[in-house]
Each structure stands twice: as C-alpha cells, then as structure tokens.
Structure 1
C-alpha cells in the first residue's frame, strides 16, 4: 500500500469512527423526534372523533406546532453554539418527550392546540442545531452524504412508525381504560425523554474534546475543517451574526427553497394514512404497513442523490431535480386517488423530494457562510422556511373540509414545491459555493 493510500485509509477510518460514535446516537434521537411529531397523523384516525375535531381543526392543530418552532428556532441555534450540542440536545429531547407523553391525557380541542404549540417550542432548534453540529465535525465535501444519513432517520421513523403506530392502535383499544390513541402518544413519547437524559452524558461538543479520538484523528478532522474555512471569506461582523445573515439575500432564497421541502413533509407525514385509506384500504394495521413504502422509496432516492451531489460537488441542479420529482408526484396524486398502488408511487415521488432536497439544501449554507455567521444563517433559513410547514397543514385541512377532497390543496403544494426548486437554481449562483474536494 502506497503512502497516499495509507493516508486515505486513515482518513476514512477516522470519519467512520466519528460517524459510528456520534451519528448512530443522533440517528436514534431523530427517529424518536419524528415519531413524536407525526404520530398525530395516525392518532387523528380516532382522535378527531373523541375530541370533536373537523379536518380543518386538525389541520390547524398540526400547523400550530410551527408557531413556537419558528419563534425559537434562531435563539436555540445560537444558544447551541454558545453552550454546546450536549446541553442543547439534552434539553430539547427531555422537553419534547415530556410534552408528547402528556398529550395522551388531552380531552378538549383547546388542549390539543396548546400541546402542539408547546411541542413545537420544545423541539425548536433541534434540526438546525444538528446541521450546525455536523459542521463542527465534517467538511463540506462529506456533508450531503452525512446529512442524508441523518435524514434517513425520518425515513426510518416512517418505516418503523407506520407499522408500530398501526399495531398500537389495533392492539391497545381501551386497555386499562385508556383509548388506543392515548397509548400511542404515551408509548412513543416516553423513549425521547429517556434518551434526552442519556444525551447529556454521551455527546461531545467538538472533535478536540473527544477522548475516543487519538491525536492524529483529531488533526485529520481539524485540518479538513481548516481547508474548508480557507475557501471562504472571513466575516468582518463576528459580533453581529444575525444582522449579517439578515442582510444576505441568499439566506432568503434558500429559505424559500427550504420552505417547499416541509410542504412535501406535510403531505407525507400528516396525510399519508388518510390518503391510503381513501384509496380503499380500511384496516388500520394494513394502513400502517403500506405507509412505510413511500419512506423506503424516499430513502433510496435520497442516498443516490446525496452521493451524486457530494462526488460532483454540484448542489443546485440536484436540488431542483428533487423538487421537480416531488412536484410531479403531488400533481398526479389526486388523479390516482382511487388506486392504492399508484397513490403509494406518487407518495414515493413526494418522499424523494422531501428527503433528497433536504439533504442537498443543507449542504449549501455552510459552503458560503462564514463560521461566524453560520449559526445565525442556518437558524434563520430553517425558521423562515417553516412558514411553509405552518401554512401547508392549514391549507390542506381547510380545502378538504370545504371541498371534501385533498385535490386542490395537493395541486397548490406541488406547484410551490416546483417553484422552490427554480428559486434555488436561479437565485444561488454556482460560483458562490466554495467547497474543498476530498478524496472519498
């Protein structure tokens, strides 16, 4: 083995160790996060009747999650940079796990609305915080792939959560005097609380603090990050991170692009069980099993797109391609609503857009934002982009209540998703993305 081959092997071994040690744990945390965020889509099959919720009221409740989420996204991300990921992630998980578990005891629509707002406030900063955390460990040339592994947790939550939620709803009917949806919230919320406590003792904030890395491994990581920083112009406004981010027009372009990704998530995460049931599947356990299929399709598509993007260091066209596939799936979905197989295919196309576009777009901000402004920029993009996540469920729930169908809302979302891809493709010049190519 030549010296260069030996050096490359040491680099790969180092990142493999980091990924196994950190990403495996974060992966589990994110699975729990999405289980607790979207299990309401299964609970609503019974919850709406018990609490007296219409489709419009359910859509409002889903959207209220994003009020607290949007308001606290930037402060939480900035706070992570100040106090570290270990304390931040632990605090977020303990709070959201406790609130999700408490949702088992809701008895009125008002309590449902309040619980969703509090859940969003508790989770605020988790997603952008993890994205920022990854920049402390991985250089740009590895980020789309590592982000895709992180996003795979969402797919895993869908793959696991669908059958699991269906099984709980099917087997915990009136057990110990509680409704099946109450057991759903309790059994899927408690693990997050436990993992939040574990995170405090398990996570490490920076490579130089990791006792499980030797000096050479630390140097490999820090040198790669330094090479990335050398490609970017340093900020002259380190004390005004948020102000610098607010003045950068690319932040708003990326926020517009990111805002279309949660729109795909609105369809996938909150309406998949309803869409499958309307396609002719009645048994709740079978609905849970079938709801896993779009997530599998999305996960496979995401891996292919993320690897291609990292190998070529091309982001903009990859993002646009994902949104085009998702937009087409959303437009076709109402036309095949009576066919369960074709409905799942269309949901799979939306899933590719959801996961693939998310993996790509979050590799863009660190490529041009300085280290000083990265935290504020990432938090701002994530926060502004959640406007789509807030409006989407309301629009779908309202149009379904008004028209008796999701068709109009799905078509509108599909159009916006496509336009989001166009915004990033045309609004972010390729020469602004400066990444250091690594041998992989």
Structure 2
C-alpha cells in the first residue's frame, strides 16, 4: 500500500530505527524474562529431590506449583495499573527485586504451608511483569512489527528450558552431597534466584519509561516511532469507555482470555511436568534428564522465531496461532499414547513444546491489535490473568490425576482436548488488517 503512513516516511530508515530499538531494549528484557520464567518453573526440577527430602506428595507439589498463579491472577490487574501510573522502569525493577527475593527464600521451605505461602507471594510479585512488558513494547513498536518482536522476547521461555534444564540437573547432581549445609534443590533456588535481584537493580538504569525519554535516539527518530505507534493506535477499534467495569464486561476480552488459558494449559503441563515425564520413561540421572528436557526447548526456540517472522511478513495472525496450538495438542496426545516407547514419547514432547510455546508470542499481537490503547492497560492484564489460571489448574490437575491413576496419560489427553477447543475459538476471531512491512 503506497499510501501507508509507515511507507510514506521511508521503510529503510524505519527498519534501521527499529533495529536500533531492538538492540537497545530486547536483550535486557529477554534476560529478565528468562529469569522470570526460570524462577517460576524451576520447582519442576526441584521436585526431583524436594519431594523425598520434605516428604511431600504429588498433590502437595501440584498445589504448591499452581498456587503461585492464584497470587498472580489476584495482582495482575492492579500491578499493571501501577506500572502505568509509576512508570515501567521503577515498577519492573521493584517487581524483580521482590520476586527474586521470594524465589530465593524457597530454599528455607520445610512444610507444605511454607511452600504454599512463598509460591503465592512470588506469584503476587511477578504478576505485572509480563503484561507490563507487552504494554511497554506496544508503545515502542506498531502492530505490524510485533510478531517477530514478541517471538524474540518470548524465546526466553524455550531458552530458559534449554539452559535451565541441564543447569538445574547439574546443580542437583553437583550439590547432592549437601555442601554448605544445603541440599541440591536448595542450592538451585539460591543460584537461580539471586540474579533476578541484580537484574531488578539494573532495570532502574537500563530502561526508560517512554520513547520521549530515549536519549539514544535522535529527535527525528523519536518522532518517527511516535508517528508509527500513534497511527497504529488510531487504526484500532474505538472503545470509548475504558473504565474497569467496562473492561470486565467486554466479551472480546474474555474470549481472548479463554484462548490464552487454553494455550497456557499445555505450556504449564510441559514446564512443570516435563522432568518427571522424562524420568518416568526410564531415565534416572538428573543431568541426563536435564539434557533430554533441553531438546524440546531448543526446537521450540527455533520454531518460535521462524513462525514469528513468517507472521509479520505475511501480516497473518490467526493461522500462525492456530497451527502451533494444534501441534501442541497433537504432541501431548503422542506423549500420552506412546509412553511405553521413549523415542516416540520424547518426539511427542518435542512437538508439544514447539507448538505450545510458539502459541504464546503468536497470541499477543491479536489483543494488542484488537483493543484500543485506553482499554489495553487493564485489558491486557485481565487477559493475562485469565490465562494464568491455567498455571494453577494445569499442574494441580496433572498431580491429582497422577496420584489417583499412577499415570499422567489421562491428564495429557484432557489438556490436549482443551487446546483443540481453544484453537477452534481462535479461528472465530476477525483477522487484524494492516500493511505488510519488512520487520526489523
């Protein structure tokens, strides 16, 4: 489209500007999200030693893993409103220092109650980080460029699994003898939690609240970005009433929240139970389990970036979301059906991880395109909170079913069915319109 406001200013100059922004912001945000996700799901590896050490049942673990998301859901909306009020730089830094402290303190857990309380508090502290980053990036990139940017940012999830799996397995093995009076699972919480506090302090220095504060861009470059983002906002549907009550009664937000819930159900089943599923396939060494668990995340990271680039180049969102979701469901069913054949079960876990994790970044361009800027602050937080309910229900459901049946098969089939329902719902959403652009 030759009359596109983005093309009218010059695509080549625009690409250079957005590459500069990406190089300045995304690496730090990526590392922050990597530790965010690692701190959230490292209990999956701690479980390999923690349950025996503390005499916890599978149900206690599932409830402790999942109760994190009750605190997360309760504080998601108010935390995002606070970020909008006080600014991303200060609020993100404060959140990271707080959740890093709580996550580290998990090493002191001795009872189920202590486990539940610390996981709940960690969830409260983390609640505004992800929706806040989505909102933050929407103020730096127009929608036509967000597919690849979200994929770059959210590739921290598979990277956290790729690096975190072998690293967690090494920690559990290396410190198994109880060096320094701490067991392996306690060292893991310490070593993986403290860097988050350091990153939180760095956020106060490295982040800036808005484009106008970016001294590393020229005035012309800042004007270009503001022009692009403003034009993008003007192209969104008009939603005049942006009150909390209006947001809570907007059907589109609840539909988007349900789709995200379905995606996250598969994601969290993989994140919290992948080490245990691999162990049940006949592998006993923690380091071997860590290396095997890294393979699905490696493939997911590559697939996520390829799909994100394809979505932006084709300016197509629905099928780039639906196909990965269906892959996630197929992979979960393969893992369940071929539990007695380790090679096929691991192949299923790879497909499930590739599909489920790629569904995450492919989802978020939809709400940021369909919601007006005034509604997005509360709307994105609510959508994220609805989706994160899966973080409570999914691991608890898997743990309960495993205690009742001795197997995760029924749980994996159930989560696969839910993912299919979510993909069919996503197909009903209208396709966001916009010009094709080369992505930075």
TM-score (norm 1): 0.95
Aligned to 1:281: 283
Contact 2:320 2:362 in 1 (8 A): yes
Aligned to 2:125: 122
> 1:281-430, aligned counterparts within 5 Å?
281-426=283-428, 428-430=429-431
Consecutive unaligned residues of structure 1, counting only runs of 5 or more, are none
Kindly report the root-mean-square deviation, in angstroms, between the aligned alpha carbons of the 2 structures: 1.5
C-alpha distance in 2, partners of 1:113/1:367?
A: 37
> 1:168-317, aligned counterparts within 5 Å?
168-173=171-176, 174-238=178-242, 240=243, 242-317=244-319
C-alpha distance in 2, partners of 1:132/1:265?
A: 22
Cα shift at 1:436 = 4.7
C-alpha distance in 1, partners of 2:368/2:435?
A: 12
C-alpha distance in 1, partners of 2:72/2:48?
A: 25
Contact 1:141 1:310 in 2 (8 A): yes
> Cα deviations across residues 273-313 of structure 1 (Å, max 9, x unaligned)?
11111112111111111111111111122122212221222
C-alpha distance in 2, partners of 1:86/1:277?
A: 41
Consecutive unaligned residues of structure 2, counting only runs of 5 or more, are 1-6
SS in 1 for 2:181: coil
C-alpha distance in 2, partners of 1:94/1:434?
A: 40
Aligned to 1:152: 155
Cα shift at 1:68 = 0.5
Cα shift at 1:355 = 2.0
Cα shift at 1:153 = 0.5
Bigger CA drift: 24-33 or 217-226? Answer: 217-226
Q: How many residue pairs align between the two structures?
A: 432
Cα shift at 1:234 = 3.6
Bigger CA drift: 318-327 or 401-410? Answer: 318-327
C-alpha distance in 1, partners of 2:361/2:421?
A: 18
C-alpha distance in 2, partners of 1:188/1:15?
A: 32
C-alpha distance in 2, partners of 1:355/1:331?
A: 16
Bigger CA drift: 198-207 or 331-340? Answer: 331-340
Cα shift at 1:250 = 1.2
Aligned to 1:76: 79
C-alpha distance in 2, partners of 1:284/1:338?
A: 20
> Cα deviations across residues 322-350 of structure 1 (Å, max 9, x unaligned)?
11111111111112223333222211211
C-alpha distance in 1, partners of 2:45/2:404?
A: 22
Contact 2:334 2:344 in 1 (8 A): no
Match of 2:164 among 153, 161, 165: 161
> 1:22-61, aligned counterparts within 5 Å?
22-61=25-64
Cα shift at 1:5 = 12
SS in 1 for 2:327: helix
